[in-house]
Amino acid sequence: MNPTVLLSTAVAVASAAYAFKPKKKTELEAKSVAVPAPKSYLPLQLDTVVAYIYDMLMGKDELEMLLKDMKQYGNTINFKGLNNDFIVVTDPSSIQHILAKNQPNYEKGPYFKGIFHDFLGSGIFNADGDTWKAQRQIARPHFQTSEFKDAALINKHVDQLLVVIDKHIASKPDAPLEVQNLYCRFTLDEASEFLFGATVDALKNEQTEFSTAFNYAQSLTAWRFRIPYWKYILPRRKLMTEIKKLDDFVYKIIDDARERQAARAQEKTKDENEENSRHDNLLDHFLSQQNEEGFDNKYLRDMLLNFLLAGRDTTASLLSWTTWKLVQHPKVMEKLHQEILQVIGPDRVPGYDDIKKLKYQKQVINEVLRLCPPVPINPRESVEEDVLPNGYYVPAGVAVAYCVYATHRLPELWGEDALEFDPDRWGPERVGKIRPFMFVPFHAGPRICLGQNLAYTTAQLALTRLLQRYDIKASPGFEPQQLGDIVMFSRNGVEVLISHKRPQSEI
């Protein structure tokens, strides 16, 4: 993708497509305050649009760019482009208003759904109204059961993660290890088994067809948010080729699950407990809940890929940034290791009940989620015109995004040390100062993340076993390049030096 061609095409298409349209203010708008907007000096805000796209192509950090703009324009900003509004809010009262108090007025909306439709179809994260409610209602019991609480499935994939790390140490003991890619493969395997009942085996084979296609689909979809008139500019043929690879894999999984279901229906002797024990993945759970009309394969495909996107990337992001923060703060890592030794021991494989006793570890993870939220910005679209609690006017049918990355870093909320990594702010003496909607890494309100408990459990089990087994240190000279995509990753990965811990008897 040539940056010059892409940029010039975007500008040409945008310039040709738009014209000025005078608009009469509504009564509510006349009584409200317009959201501040960065200054623009060209028609259709072409200068700001071009500057933004250029900065993205050059690899600049758009989240830090947002923080810089906030210092000038405040905590609510309208990033106008081509006469379209894109309002970003960061204050907790506005986030609460959007996610809870007036939640029906802020939907995913047709623009958001259009961007994601090729990839995610009409799945739960790309749906509104009755479609969203029905999928969430069916999925919720699977995430609320104790199926994953014995940690067997998670530990199974952690075992494979450790095998890959051991091989690296054996073959390249002095070379840094890029763990972000490793965590993505680990969580892809774990999430695919939890959802499908079949693992992708990404840890065993780094470049599986499924994982490569999944990464490409996500990357190109993220660019659709950034490029005006993306339908006419960004390539779709390649995207659809990669999505077909995802479909081929998922549809086979669905066909196999239907065959299993049919075979069970023919069994003569089967008690209720045995039947319930077999619903050990989300796909089987959905099939067991379907009505007489059933779910078609496209419905199931969309549902599975939606949950896979959330389940894989968010937990991989959390593990990646936790590892980075720990190597930057070795005293925190040592305190965390000592807690693990006291509660679990140097080598015992922990279970679900064990990690719930790791209070300091939970503080560390919450502090990582504060500074490095896996989903840094989340867009909605207003159904009707509205006024935010801070008095700013929101027109009907415009994009309104809440940016938790910025909210989690506001000094007026978190203190003058808001940018510092300090797990003690989550300790019993200070945690009471954290008010509702100050901390929303898993969102809030009716659409709060169903899988947050699973994410915490996966991250804590993996982190516990990594610190039991390895010494992890910073790789000299390495700095991650933050990428505010759909999920927040590092553009250049996360490199660390890793080695086996010495046995306790030798220390």
The predicted-structure confidence for 446-473, as pLDDT tens digits, reads as follows 998 888 888 999 999 999 999 999 999 9
Long-range Cβ pairs for the range 26-31 (8 Å, 24+): 26/385, 28/385, 28/387, 28/393, 29/385, 29/393, 29/395
Query: 257 vs 261, which has greater pLDDT?
Result: 257
DSSP state of 433: G
Phi and psi at 150, nearest 5°, equal -80, -5
Phi and psi at 173, nearest 5°, equal -60, -25
In the chain, the amino acid numbered 407 is: T
**Is residue 507 scored above 70 in pLDDT?**
no
> Which residue is it, tokens 């059933």?
294
User: What is the percentage of the chain residues whose pLDDT exceeds 70?
Assistant: 90
Of the candidates 284, 281, 241, 280, the residue with the CA atom closest to the CA atom of residue 261: 284
- The reported pLDDT for the residue numbered 274 is 47
**Which of 194-203, 234-243, 299-308, 496-505 is least confident?**
496-505
The highest-confidence range among 133-142, 190-199, 263-272, 320-329, by mean pLDDT, is 320-329
Rounded CA separation 91/79 (Å)? 17
Taking CA atoms, 180 is separated from 52, 69, 361, 467, 489, in Å, by: 27, 29, 20, 16, 8
Q: What band does 11 get if pLDDT is binned at 50, 70 and 90?
A: low
Q: What band does 270 get if pLDDT is binned at 50, 70 and 90?
A: low
Q: List beta partners, residue 495.
A: 178
Known binding positions for heme: 449
Contact 428, 114 (CB under 8 A): no
- The reported pLDDT for the residue numbered 7 is 55
Rounded CA separation 271/57 (Å)? 59
Taking CA atoms, 36 is separated from 72, 89, 386, 391, in Å, by: 10, 11, 16, 12
Rounded CA separation 158/187 (Å)? 9
Q: List beta partners, residue 393.
A: 387
Helix (H) or strand (E) holding 378: strand 377-382
**Which of 28-37, 140-149, 293-302, 453-462 is least confident?**
140-149
Q: What is the mean pLDDT of the segment spanning 101-125? A: 91
Rounded CA separation 427/359 (Å)? 9
- The reported pLDDT for the residue numbered 158 is 97
Average pLDDT, the chain: 88
Rounded CA separation 390/397 (Å)? 20
Contact 160, 186 (CB under 8 A): yes
**Is residue 277 scored above 50 in pLDDT?**
no
Contact 246, 305 (CB under 8 A): yes
Known binding positions: 449
Q: How many helices (H) and strands (E) does the chain have?
A: 21, 12
Domains of the chain as residue ranges with CATH: 3-506 (1.10.630.10)
Q: What band does 2 get if pLDDT is binned at 50, 70 and 90?
A: low
Query: Is 425 exposed, middle or buried (CB count within 10 Å of its CB: 0-12, 13-18, 19+)?
Result: buried
Helix (H) or strand (E) holding 403: strand 399-403
Q: Residues for the chain: how many in total?
A: 507
Dihedral sign computed on CA atoms, order 246, 248, 251, 253: negative
Phi and psi at 353, nearest 5°, equal -65, -30
Of the candidates 99, 312, 105, 93, the residue with the CA atom closest to the CA atom of residue 200: 312
Rounded CA separation 185/306 (Å)? 17
Helix (H) or strand (E) holding 181: helix 179-196
Q: pLDDT tens for residues 26-82?
A: 989 888 999 999 988 888 888 888 888 888 788 888 888 889 999 999 999 999 888
Contact 163, 171 (CB under 8 A): no
The highest-confidence range among 12-21, 124-133, 317-326, 497-506, by mean pLDDT, is 317-326
Rounded CA separation 230/236 (Å)? 10
Contact 479, 493 (CB under 8 A): no
- The reported pLDDT for the residue numbered 400 is 96
3-state secondary structure of 499: strand
E strands present in 66-214: 76-78, 86-89, 106-107, 177-178
Phi and psi at 496, nearest 5°, equal -140, 160
Q: List beta partners, residue 291.
A: none
Rounded CA separation 193/311 (Å)? 11
- Structure token pair of residue 208: 């599986």
**Which of 191-205, 234-248, 261-275 is least confident?**
261-275
